[in-house]
Amino acid sequence: MTNEDETIDREDCPHLDALDPSVGTGGPEQCADCGGTEHVRVCQSCGRVHCCESMESHDRDHWEETGHPLIRPHEKQGYDFLWCYGCGAYLS
Ligand SMILES: [Zn+2]
Ligand SMILES: [Zn+2]
Ligand SMILES: [Zn+2]
Protein backbone atom coordinates (compact mmCIF):
# COMPACT_ATOMS: atom_id res chain seq x y z
CA MET A 1 0.00 0.00 0.00
CA THR A 2 1.59 3.19 -1.18
CA ASN A 3 0.59 6.80 -1.42
CA GLU A 4 -0.33 6.14 -5.03
CA ASP A 5 -3.30 4.02 -4.00
CA GLU A 6 -6.56 5.62 -4.91
CA THR A 7 -9.86 5.83 -3.12
CA ILE A 8 -13.07 4.96 -4.91
CA ASP A 9 -16.72 5.21 -3.92
CA ARG A 10 -17.92 2.16 -2.05
CA GLU A 11 -20.84 1.90 -4.49
CA ASP A 12 -18.37 1.46 -7.33
CA CYS A 13 -16.81 -1.67 -5.82
CA PRO A 14 -18.36 -4.85 -7.26
CA HIS A 15 -16.96 -7.00 -4.44
CA LEU A 16 -19.05 -5.75 -1.53
CA ASP A 17 -21.15 -8.92 -1.45
CA ALA A 18 -17.99 -10.58 -0.06
CA LEU A 19 -18.26 -8.37 3.03
CA ASP A 20 -19.81 -10.03 6.07
CA PRO A 21 -20.89 -7.20 8.42
CA SER A 22 -20.81 -9.58 11.41
CA VAL A 23 -17.04 -10.12 11.02
CA GLY A 24 -15.96 -6.73 12.35
CA THR A 25 -12.38 -5.89 13.24
CA GLY A 26 -11.78 -7.78 16.50
CA GLY A 27 -10.36 -11.22 17.18
CA PRO A 28 -6.74 -12.22 17.72
CA GLU A 29 -4.35 -9.33 17.08
CA GLN A 30 -1.89 -11.61 15.33
CA CYS A 31 -1.23 -12.73 11.76
CA ALA A 32 -2.56 -16.28 11.26
CA ASP A 33 0.46 -17.13 9.10
CA CYS A 34 3.50 -15.55 10.75
CA GLY A 35 2.25 -14.47 14.18
CA GLY A 36 3.18 -10.86 13.53
CA THR A 37 1.24 -8.29 15.51
CA GLU A 38 2.11 -5.10 13.59
CA HIS A 39 -0.12 -3.71 10.85
CA VAL A 40 -2.54 -6.61 11.08
CA ARG A 41 -5.67 -6.62 8.90
CA VAL A 42 -8.94 -8.49 9.32
CA CYS A 43 -10.47 -10.25 6.30
CA GLN A 44 -14.02 -8.93 6.03
CA SER A 45 -15.25 -12.19 4.53
CA CYS A 46 -14.01 -14.75 7.05
CA GLY A 47 -12.46 -12.80 9.92
CA ARG A 48 -8.96 -14.23 9.51
CA VAL A 49 -6.20 -11.86 10.59
CA HIS A 50 -3.10 -11.28 8.47
CA CYS A 51 -0.23 -8.83 8.30
CA CYS A 52 -0.20 -6.15 5.63
CA GLU A 53 2.13 -5.56 2.73
CA SER A 54 4.51 -3.44 4.76
CA MET A 55 5.17 -6.60 6.80
CA GLU A 56 5.07 -10.14 5.33
CA SER A 57 2.12 -9.42 3.05
CA HIS A 58 0.04 -12.36 4.26
CA ASP A 59 -3.16 -10.40 3.66
CA ARG A 60 -2.34 -10.36 -0.05
CA ASP A 61 -1.55 -14.10 0.09
CA HIS A 62 -4.97 -14.66 1.67
CA TRP A 63 -6.66 -12.70 -1.13
CA GLU A 64 -4.81 -14.70 -3.78
CA GLU A 65 -5.61 -18.02 -2.09
CA THR A 66 -9.26 -17.40 -1.23
CA GLY A 67 -10.48 -14.50 -3.36
CA HIS A 68 -11.58 -12.65 -0.23
CA PRO A 69 -10.98 -9.07 -1.38
CA LEU A 70 -11.87 -6.81 1.54
CA ILE A 71 -9.75 -6.02 4.59
CA ARG A 72 -9.84 -3.57 7.46
CA PRO A 73 -7.20 -2.85 10.10
CA HIS A 74 -7.60 -4.72 13.38
CA GLU A 75 -9.46 -2.55 15.90
CA LYS A 76 -6.36 -2.36 18.10
CA GLN A 77 -4.44 -0.60 15.31
CA GLY A 78 -6.19 2.65 16.17
CA TYR A 79 -7.11 3.63 12.63
CA ASP A 80 -9.60 2.37 10.11
CA PHE A 81 -10.05 1.97 6.38
CA LEU A 82 -11.61 -0.46 3.97
CA TRP A 83 -9.29 -1.79 1.27
CA CYS A 84 -10.39 -3.89 -1.69
CA TYR A 85 -7.82 -6.11 -3.36
CA GLY A 86 -10.29 -6.75 -6.19
CA CYS A 87 -10.35 -3.04 -7.01
CA GLY A 88 -6.83 -2.25 -5.80
CA ALA A 89 -8.25 0.74 -3.98
CA TYR A 90 -9.52 2.11 -0.71
CA LEU A 91 -13.28 2.39 -0.50
CA SER A 92 -14.79 5.59 0.81
ZN1 LIG B 1 -13.74 -4.10 -5.04
ZN1 LIG C 1 2.03 -12.49 8.40
ZN1 LIG D 1 -10.85 -14.38 4.29
Per the domain annotation, does 44 fall within a domain?
yes
Q: Taking the mean position of all CA atoms in its chain, how far away is CA 73? A: 6
Q: How many domains does the chain have?
A: 1
The mean per-residue pLDDT over the stretch 16-39 comes to 96
CA distance 51 to 3: 18
Per the domain annotation, does 1 fall within a domain?
no
Ligand minimally distant from the alpha carbon of residue 7:
1
CA distance 11 to 37: 31
Ligand minimally distant from the alpha carbon of residue 34:
2
CA distance 74 to 2: 19
Q: What range does the domain containing 23 cover?
A: 6-91
Strand partners, 91: 8
Q: What is the pTM of this model?
A: 0.92
Ligand minimally distant from the alpha carbon of residue 66:
3
CA of 73 to the centre of ligand 1 (A): 17
CA of 64 to the centre of ligand 2 (A): 14
Q: What is the CATH number of the domain that holds 67?
A: 3.30.40.10
Tens of pLDDT, residues 29-83 = 999 999 999 999 999 999 999 999 999 999 999 999 999 999 999 999 999 999 9
Distance spanning both ends of the chain, measured CA to CA: 16
pLDDT band of residue 5 (cuts 50, 70, 90) is confident
Per the domain annotation, does 20 fall within a domain?
yes
Which helix (H) or strand (E) segment is 89 a member of? strand 89-91
